[in-house]
Structure 1
Amino acid sequence: MIKLKDVIEKVYANDLSELSLFKTKQIINTINPHSYCEAKKDPFFSQALNESNVLLPDGTGIVLATKVLNGKVIKKIAGADVHQFLLEEAALKKLNVFYLGASENTLSLIKTRIKKEFPSITVNSYSPPYKPEFSKEDNVKMIAAVNKCKPDILFVGMTAPKQEKWVHTNSVFLDVKVITCIGAVFDFYAGTVKRSSPFWIKLGLEWLPRLLREPKRLWKRNFVSTPLFLWDLLKAKNYK
C-alpha cells in the first residue's frame, strides 16, 4: 500500500530542466492529495505510481507534506507544466509527439494549436473508446496506433487512475521514450475546459475555481480526500 513518507521520498524535487529524457524509457506521473487517497484504496494504482520513473508534485498538499516531513521547499509541478515543458523540448529537437485519449474534436483542437505554436513538432493522435475498461482488442488498436508513429513523447489523457494503470500495464509494448499521464490537460490545452488563472495558481488555490465550475465532479477530492490527506500528514509527522 502507498505510504505518505514513501511518496514524499520519491516525489520529484528539482526543476523540470534537470529531467534526464530520451536516453531510456521514462514514465512520468503526477500525484496530488486526491490521487494519493485513491491509491490507498487501489493497490494497482498504488503500484503504478510507486513504479513511475518520475512522480511530480501536482498539488499544494504534496508541497506542504514535503516541507513538513522532509524540511524541503519544492515547487508544485502540474500536468500542464510538464506538458508545456515537453512541447518546448520537442519543438527544439523537432520531435514526434502523440496524444492518446479524449475525443476526436479535442484532439483536432490540440493539433491545430500545436501547428500554430510549435510548427516544428510532428503530432499524431488516437481517440480510444469511452468505457470503464478496455478490451484486449481495444488495447491492441491503441498500442498499434502509437507504435505506427514511433513518437518520442506519448501524452496519455484518460483520467486517473485509468490512465496510470493502462500505462503501467502496457508500457512494455510501447515504442516510446517518454510517457506521461496528464489527464485534464488535454482539455485545458484544447480550450474545451478553462484552467484556473495564474492568480489562483500562485495562491495555491487552483482547485477553487474548478470546484465552483464543476462541484458535482470535484467535491469529493476537496471535501473528502483533502481532510484524509491532512490527517495522514499529521499522523506521519507525529510518528516521525
Structure 2
Amino acid sequence: MPKSVKIKEYNIYASDINSLTVEKDKKTIVNTINAHSYIVAKNDSKFKKALVSSDILLPDGEGVVLMAKKLKGEKIKKIAGADIHDYLLDLSEKRGLKCFYLGASQETLDIIKNKQTQKYKNVAFGFYSPPFKPVFSKEDNAQMVSKINAFKPDVLFVGMTAPKQEKWVFDNKESIDANIICSIGAVFDFIAETKKRAPQWVINLKMEWLYRSFTAWRLTKRYLYSTPLFLLEVFKLKYFKKSI
C-alpha cells in the first residue's frame, strides 16, 4: 500500500514512484500539488475539491517537500508531472498499454505523436486537441469525453494547465473510460520541446522552480506571489499550532 502524508485536507503521496501501477477495471485520478496550487486552492473551492479527492496527489514542488518535513517530520521526494509521465510511459511500453493525450494545440500534438510513436513502439497512442477557450461548453465536454472513450485508454494524460485541467477531470471523471487519469500541465510542451524542462543537474540541486521562473514572466510573477504566502502558511501551521 503506497504511503501518504496528511497535511490539512491533503493526502500527499510519500512513496517511491515505482509503487504506482496501472490496474485494469480501476479508475485512479492522479494530480500534483505545489506551493502555487496550494495557495490558489485556498480561494478556489472546486480546485481544492479536485486536489483533495485525488486518489494520488504527488508532491510536485520543493515547497511541499519542505512542508512535509517541517510539519510532519517526513522526508518525501518531489515527483514532477514530467516524472510521472515518463514512468507511466515506460510502464505502458513494457505492458503494451494505450495512452491518450488530451490538450494543447493540434500542432503540438502532431509533434508529440511523431516523437512518441518512434520512441515507444509497444504503446498505442490517441490524441485530441480541445477548443482553446477559458470555459468549455456542454458540447465541448461531450466531444472530449467521446474521443477519449472511443479510444479506451489505459492512461489518459490531461494537459490544459492548472487549475483548469484538474477541475475538468473532477467534473467529468465519472464519464471517462480510462484506468489512470493524470493531469500534467506543461509536460506536453516539454515533450514537444516548445518549452524546455530544467537540466537534470538543476533538478538535482532542487532549483527547477528557479530555472522555470527565468523561462517565462508568467511563472516569475507566480512564484513572487505564491512563494511568500506558502512559506507564511508553513510558519503559521508549525508555530501557531493550527490543525494539520
TM-score over 0.5 (shorter chain): yes
8 Å CA contact 1:96–1:122 kept in 2: the answer is: yes
Counterpart in the other structure of 1:170: 172
2:84 is the alignment partner of 1:97: no
8 Å CA contact 1:34–1:226 kept in 2: the answer is: yes
Counterpart in the other structure of 1:237: 238
2:26 is the alignment partner of 1:56: no
- Structure 2 gap segments, 5+ residues each: 1-5
Counterpart in the other structure of 1:197: 199
| Distance in 2 of aligned mates of 1:198 and 1:38 | 28
8 Å CA contact 1:124–1:149 kept in 2: the answer is: yes
1:47 deviates by: 0.3
8 Å CA contact 2:99–2:123 kept in 1: the answer is: yes
Instruction: Map residues 1-240 of structure 1 onto 2, 5 A cutoff.
Output: 5-6=7-8, 10-23=11-24, 24-215=26-217, 217-240=218-241
Q: Alignment partner of 2:57: what SS?
A: strand
| Distance in 1 of aligned mates of 2:22 and 2:182 | 12
8 Å CA contact 2:59–2:65 kept in 1: the answer is: yes
Deviations 1:157-210 (A, max 9, x none): 000000000000001000111000000000001111111111211111112222
8 Å CA contact 2:13–2:59 kept in 1: the answer is: yes
8 Å CA contact 1:151–1:176 kept in 2: the answer is: yes
1:21 deviates by: 2.7
1:239 deviates by: 3.1
Q: Alignment partner of 2:156: what SS?
A: strand
| Distance in 2 of aligned mates of 1:239 and 1:208 | 29
8 Å CA contact 1:5–1:236 kept in 2: the answer is: no
| Distance in 2 of aligned mates of 1:179 and 1:46 | 17
1:20 deviates by: 4.4
TM-score (norm. length: structure 1): 0.95
Amino acid at match of 1:41: N
Deviations 1:130-160 (A, max 9, x none): 1000000000100000000001000000000
8 Å CA contact 2:101–2:157 kept in 1: the answer is: yes
1:213 deviates by: 2.0
Q: Alignment partner of 1:125: what SS?
A: strand
| Distance in 2 of aligned mates of 1:213 and 1:29 | 23
TM-score (norm. length: structure 2): 0.94
Q: Alignment partner of 1:229: what SS?
A: helix
1:224 deviates by: 1.1
Identity of counterpart residues, as a percentage?
Answer: 50
Moved over 3 A (4+): none
